[in-house]
Chains A and B, each alone.
Chain A
Amino acid sequence: NAGVTQTPKFRILKIGQSMTLQCTQDMNHNYMYWYRQDPGMGLKLIYYSVGAGITDKGEVPNGYNVSRSTTEDFPLRLELAAPSQTSVYFCATLVSERNEQFFGPGTRLTVL
């Protein structure tokens, strides 16, 4: 997965709980992305970052927060988990020279 690691692999949350999904890359890429993928659907962009200290909203940011204090890490925070946030979450980085994204292995989250 091109040096992108995500933890945890699986998680079950209760409604109203909070958690942080971790994403780390070791390739010194500036661009990082968070997507969610619902069953049978494509990827929807939640947030992205063009470098340390810079983040921006994607298509579906509501209910999530991000930070980018270092180049390597791009954590995604869920403050008040809701069943609608049950999904598979993918982190990705970008090889800028080719404008090509590479994805981490994903985190499967269930909110009950």
Chain B
Amino acid sequence: QKEVEQNSGPLSVPEGAIASLNCTYSDRVSQSFFWYRQYSGKSPELIMSIYSNGDKEDGRFTAQLNKASQYVSLLIRDSQPSDSATYLCAVNANTGNQFYFGTGTSLTVIP
């Protein structure tokens, strides 16, 4: 059973702060890692993908991957109320095959 674990939250941060979201996974052969944002009643939207150890930055978002610790995180800098959503972590072992999702972390950014 491949597992992807996330703290369900809710996580609350003030506007302008850094939000830190964490994810661990059980399958050591996982090669691709993804963060999705899901607004209430909407479909998941891909915001970051990361494949190599280290950091990957895209605007206010930074994904961090540590394969030895089987850990991937998402940092959101200068958090905005529009960032309030559920963030889903997903992993994949081989291109196109099964993707495994965590249960998501609910983030609220307080104005």
Contacts and interface: CB of A to CB of B under 8 A. Distances in A.
Contacts of A48: 97-98
Nearest to A6: B43
Interface in A8-29: none
Interface string A66-103: 00000000000000000000000010001010111111
Interface in B8-54: 8, 32, 34, 42-46, 49
Interface residues of B, number: 23
Given A40-B103, A41-B103, A42-B101, A94 B96 contact: yes
A45 B97 CA distance: 11
A56 to B, nearest CB: 9
A75 to B, nearest CB: 18
Q: Chain A interface: which size bin?
A: 20 to 34
A43 B101 CA distance: 6
Contact of B43 (A40, A90, A98): A90
Contacts of B88: 42-43
B103 A96 contact: no
Contacts of B46: 100-102
B32 A42 contact: no
B4 interface: yes
Nearest to A91: B43
A33 B98 CA distance: 9
Given A100-B34, A100-B49, A1 B101 contact: no
Q: Which 9 A-B pairs have the closest CB atoms?
A: A42-B101, A103-B43, A43-B101, A42-B103, A31-B96, A99-B95, A99-B32, A106-B43, A42-B102
12 contacts: A40-B103, A42-B88, A45-B99, A45-B100, A48-B98, A96-B96, A99-B92, A99-B96, A101-B34, A102-B46, A105-B42, A105-B43
